Amino acid sequence: MLRTLPLNKRGIPASRIALGCMGLGGGWDHEPITAENIKQGHEAVEAALSIGINFFDHADIYTRGKAEKVFGEIFRDRPGLREEIIIQSKCGIKLIEPGDTTNTFDISREHILKSVDGTLSRLGTDYIDILLLHRPDPLMDPEEVAEALHQLKVSGKVRHFGVSNMSAAQIRLLQHYCDEPFIVNQLHMSLAKISWLDAMVSVNREPWKDITFPEGTIEYCRMENIQLQAWGPLAQGSFSGRSLEGQPENVVNTAALVKELARQKNTTPEAIVLSWLMTHPAAIQPVIGTVNPQRIAACAGADQLELTRKEWYDLYVSSRGEKLP
């Protein structure tokens, strides 16, 4: 049974699948966006809308802001679209610039406010539906974060807030100081990225492989009605047509199993891979990263599939490459 999204429970009419927009805008350089970039954006948006996706995920750093600029052009070309869809963006990462030796994380009050203003300008809109803090910042002052989010809320620039790549403890710390609830946590989860499951099944066992997933994070989000979003849910095509040359046995075997299940259910490998995530009772919302219209279309129907418990476990154990304890 497909569970209701926590976002829907909060009255936000988000689609079961979201489209990640990191692939829009061309290269990660300082070149201006082109007519071809805008055309690609239109085609990706149209493909997403055609399969019922109304949720679009951005970040201020995606192709150095050009992904948001492309979307701004789409809004100008399609009057009325902004009110029909949900826009989520992120802030908190500073990319390497000339003279820098590394990228840094920054969720200071100043950077959050500046980042949101930049996003709004590039998108050509006056509000973001959801703003995520992109990465945990070791120098974070939660009281300062709270001030920034309060200012964004009362100004109407941001309607809701969330985080990305954070543990339960980090969310609790922020929530202690922030009046506004954090309603999203976006994590790297897929049939290839299964440490969030391995952390569960390995309780009271000798450490298995190199599990670093923070214990209790999935459970905390479920209890607090925080929407779990999965970035990288298609595993970069590892199980849906990407070359398997040089891949380990567990990946080859899992790709074959996905293909067979797709044949049995008369659907696509992409739909099977997404359905595996959405079968989990945490009501995970996959954020697909492709902007290829054909691959977007291949995800259609994933939210209508139901995997049996055996099918779900067969895929998990196959990807794990080792029997369960």
Secondary structure string (H, E, C) spanning 272-299: HHHHHHHHCCCCCEEEECCCCHHHHHHC
62 is catalytic: yes
Residue 210: predicted pLDDT: 60
Query: Do residues 31 and 70 touch, judged by C-beta distance below 8 A?
Result: no
Q: Choose, from 62, 127, 177, 313, the residue flagged as catalytic.
A: 62
Domains and CATH numbers, the chain: 6-242+281-294 (3.20.20.100)
Structure tokens at 199: 């952390």
Burial pattern 161-187, b for ≥16 Cβ within 10 A else e, equals bbbbbbbbebbebbbeebeeebbbbbb
H-helix or E-strand spanning residue 94: strand 93-94
Nearest Cα neighbor of 12 from 183, 224, 230 is 183
Give, rounded to a whole angstrom, the gap between the first and last alpha carbons of the chain. Answer: 26
Low-confidence residues of the chain: pLDDT under 70: 1, 206-211
- Residue written as token pair 């990660």: 28
- CA 7 to chain centroid, in Å, comes to 14
pLDDT of residue 98: 83
Task: Measure Cα distances from 16 to 7, 91, 227, 274 in Å.
Answer: 10, 23, 11, 11
Compute the distance between CA of residue 187 and CA of residue 277 in angstroms, rounded to an integer: 12
- What confidence score (pLDDT) does residue 206 get? 66
pLDDT of residue 209: 60
Cβ 85 vs Cβ 52: under 8 Å: no
* Three-state DSSP class for residue 25: coil
